[in-house]
């Protein structure tokens, strides 16, 4: 992961090397299994893996990334970053077209960047972008108000799909019918979507990388019940099961002949499982109460028993594998005496039954281990320090999201992604300015610390890697001490696929990368 923290330097990369590779034999269908139901397919205005997995096949982006965090040419055959870091110039691939045959121009790039800036949930991702100049049809110059070291990573397929202005430029983009019948320029063309059942994509015969993609067709089967998805994969109905995260399912499929089960790739997501507090609600507005709960939780039990040892520990807001992470933070090793002392200091004294207060635990639907099982563990564990836990289930994701984003909660489990660079995926959780009622995966904790705001603002424009790391180190130390969130583990992201499939997307973005290189051997 060391490369994505390099300062933005001038870069010129040729697309010819990609096209010059000997092409494997074309043909075949790829059957993909997923529990995720895309709300729509426009990744310019929607985050999350459900949309990203489809969007990155339908739309192309300026850059793509390899497994070593190196940017590679895609729609931009080359690019340069100004010495002062205040502009990035993209040179588009000549002859690239959208699926309807219209040429891709710099005007489409400018329109897409502005659309993402105005509509995407990750508000900090393109915040420094002031304008995009289009001196000719194949050149786009992105002008910045300040240096923005996260910008090149933000040009990844899942984060910056280039959408055609002639299709998406009229009316309210949130209501555009093309969100469900998309027109892009990626390796596959949208054919059909039966919501909750499947979507089907066909080979883009005019893809701008000659000879690709290799597959004739991709069908993504949506199987809402994870147990049925595992069964379908086990019996061979599914060729590719990306983003597998249940330890129970992973262990089961590891024993199936003819399947490859790997945790390679997906490093860009940095998916952290955690407990988040409503810090505006008593008694969780007292950091000592939040810290006490941290000292009462046995993370080793959670990670080794509930998660079957298939996860790594998480100690702070930046995933531990990032060069920006620091280990100089409180780790909250289980210590019941310290937890009780902190609750006493906070004035939370036990009643005659030994109960200090009652709290409700919500959990993110969809995960057994980090959902109900974790909530039930908290019920028994926190009773030891006098906290009575009530578990509240949500029937579906929209119900949970509505409760959390409207601040109708005490504490909730959650799984939130770093998205490669803190500017993209971390800042949104901690900035005071991102306390946005009704928006899930914003600062739903209502956490506010002026020094944290200052540090994140400074780090977002610091191009020197060492100086940037120091700013983020202080940020992590403050947030871990304030404990608006208790960090549990890095969520497992496994790719499971049939033997005989080659060149699977095992880069930093995993299945949220183009599938143009996949082929049947």
Provide the residue-wise pLDDT of the chain in tens; the chain has 521 residues: 233 333 344 444 444 444 444 558 899 999 999 998 898 999 999 988 899 999 999 999 999 999 999 999 999 999 999 999 999 999 999 999 999 999 999 999 999 999 999 999 888 899 999 999 999 999 999 999 999 999 999 999 999 999 999 999 999 999 999 999 999 999 999 999 999 899 999 999 999 999 999 999 999 999 988 899 999 999 999 999 999 988 989 999 999 999 999 999 999 999 999 999 999 999 999 999 999 999 999 999 999 999 999 999 999 999 988 889 999 999 999 999 999 999 999 999 999 999 999 999 999 987 789 999 999 999 999 999 999 999 999 998 889 999 999 999 999 999 999 999 999 999 999 999 999 999 889 999 999 999 999 999 999 999 899 999 999 999 999 999 999 999 999 999 999 999 999 999 999 999 999 999 999 99
Q: In this predicted structure, what is the pLDDT of residue 23?
A: 55
In 292-313, which positions are buried (b, 16+ CB within 10 angstroms) versus exposed (e)?
bbbbbbebeebbeebbeebbee
**Cis peptide bond N-terminal to 213, omega within 30:** yes
Contacts of 102 (CB under 8 A, 6+ apart): 164, 166
Bridge pairing between strands 357-362 and 76-81:
unpaired
Q: Which of 35, 503, 498 is nearest to 244 (CA)?
A: 35
Instruction: Give the Cα separation of 450 and 482 in Å (integer).
Output: 12
Q: In this predicted structure, what is the pLDDT of residue 365?
A: 87
Q: In this predicted structure, what is the pLDDT of residue 384?
A: 97
Domains by residue range for the chain, with CATH: 2-265+494-520 (3.40.190.10), 271-490 (3.10.105.10)
Q: In this predicted structure, what is the pLDDT of residue 8?
A: 43
Cβ-contact 358, 282 below 8 angstroms: no
Contacts of 506 (CB under 8 A, 6+ apart): 67, 262, 264, 265, 495
Instruction: Give the Cα separation of 378 and 59 in Å (integer).
Output: 43
Q: In this predicted structure, what is the pLDDT of residue 22?
A: 52
In 116-152, which positions are buried (b, 16+ CB within 10 angstroms) versus exposed (e)?
bbeebbbbbbbbbbeebebeeebbbbbebeebbbbbb
> Torsions phi, psi of 92, nearest 5?
-75, 155
Cβ-contact 436, 404 below 8 angstroms: no
Instruction: Give the Cα separation of 328 and 343 in Å (integer).
Output: 25
Query: Using only C-alpha atoms, what is the Rg of the chain?
Result: 23
| H or E segment to which residue 389 belongs | strand 387-392
Contacts of 484 (CB under 8 A, 6+ apart): 276, 277, 279, 290, 430, 445, 447
Cβ-contact 270, 425 below 8 angstroms: yes
> Torsions phi, psi of 170, nearest 5?
-105, 135
> Torsions phi, psi of 392, nearest 5?
-120, 120
Query: pTM, whole model, 2 decimals?
Result: 0.86
Q: In this predicted structure, what is the pLDDT of residue 154?
A: 97
> Torsions phi, psi of 216, nearest 5?
-75, -30
Cβ-contact 112, 160 below 8 angstroms: yes
Q: Which of 217, 235, 90, 97 is nearest to 155 (CA)?
A: 90
Cα four-point dihedral sign 262, 263, 269, 275: positive
Instruction: Give the Cα separation of 243 and 492 in Å (integer).
Output: 8
Instruction: Give the Cα separation of 151 and 142 in Å (integer).
Output: 10
Centroid of chain to Cα 382: 30
> Torsions phi, psi of 404, nearest 5?
-70, -40
């Amino acid at each position: 992961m060391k490369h994505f923290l390099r300062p933005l330097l001038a870069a010129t990369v040729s697309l010819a090397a990609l096209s010059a590779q000997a092409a494997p034999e074309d043909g075949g269908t790829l059957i993909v299994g997923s529990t995720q139901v895309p709300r729509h397919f426009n990744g310019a205005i929607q985050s999350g893996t459900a949309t990203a997995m489809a969007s990155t096949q339908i739309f192309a982006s300026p850059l793509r990334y390899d497994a070593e965090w190196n940017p590679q040419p895609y729609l931009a055959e080359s690019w340069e970053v100004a010495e002062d870091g205040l502009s990035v110039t993209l040179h588009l691939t000549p002859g690239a077209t959208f699926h309807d045959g219209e040429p891709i121009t710099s005007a489409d790039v400018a329109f897409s960047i502005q659309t993402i800036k105005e509509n995407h949930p990750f508000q900090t991702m393109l915040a420094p972008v002031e304008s995009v100049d289009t001196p000719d049809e194949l050149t786009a110059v992105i002008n910045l108000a300040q240096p923005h070291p996260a910008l090149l990573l933000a040009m990844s397929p899942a984060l910056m799909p280039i959408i055609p202005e002639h299709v998406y430029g009229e009316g309210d983009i949130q209501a555009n019918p093309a969100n469900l019948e998309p027109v892009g320029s990626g390796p596959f063309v949208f054919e059909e979507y039966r919501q909750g059942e499947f979507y089907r994509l066909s080979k883009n015969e005019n893809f701008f990388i000659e000879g690709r993609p290799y597959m004739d067709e991709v069908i993504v089967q949506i199987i809402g019940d994870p147990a049925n998805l595992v069964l379908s994969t086990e019996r061979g109905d599914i060729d590719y099961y990306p983003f597998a995260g249940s330890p129970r399912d992973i262990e089961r499929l590891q024993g199936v002949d003819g399947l490859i089960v790997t945790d390679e790739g997906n490093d860009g997501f940095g998916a952290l499982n955690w407990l988040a507090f409503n810090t505006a609600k008593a008694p969780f507005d007292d950091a000592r109460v939040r810290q006490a709960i941290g000292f009462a939780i046995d993370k080793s039990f959670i990670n080794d028993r509930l998660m079957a040892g298939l996860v790594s520990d998480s100690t702070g807001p930046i995933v531990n594998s990032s060069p920006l992470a620091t280990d100089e933070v409180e780790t909250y090793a289980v210590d019941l005496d310290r937890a009780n002392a902190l609750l006493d200091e906070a004035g939370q004294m036990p009643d005659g039954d030994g109960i200090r207060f009652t709290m409700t635990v919500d959990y993110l639907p969809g995960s057994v281990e980090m959902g109900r099982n974790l909530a039930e563990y908290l019920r028994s564990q926190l009773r030891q320090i006098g906290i009575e836990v009530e578990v509240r289930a949500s029937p579906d994701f929209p119900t949970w999201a509505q409760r959390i984003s409207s601040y109708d909660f005490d504490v909730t489990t959650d799984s939130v992604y770093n998205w490669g660079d803190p500017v993209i995926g971390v800042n949104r959780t901690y900035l005071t300015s991102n306390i946005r009622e009704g928006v899930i995966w914003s600062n739903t904790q209502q956490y506010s610390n002026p020094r944290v705001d200052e540090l994140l603002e400074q780090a977002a424009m610091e191009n020197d890697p060492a100086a940037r790391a120091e700013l983020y180190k202080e940020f992590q130390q403050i947030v871990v001490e304030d404990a608006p969130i208790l960090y549990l583990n890095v969520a497992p992201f496994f790719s499971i696929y049939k033997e005989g499939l080659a060149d699977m997307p095992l880069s930093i973005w995993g299945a949220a990368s183009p599938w143009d290189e996949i082929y049947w051997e």
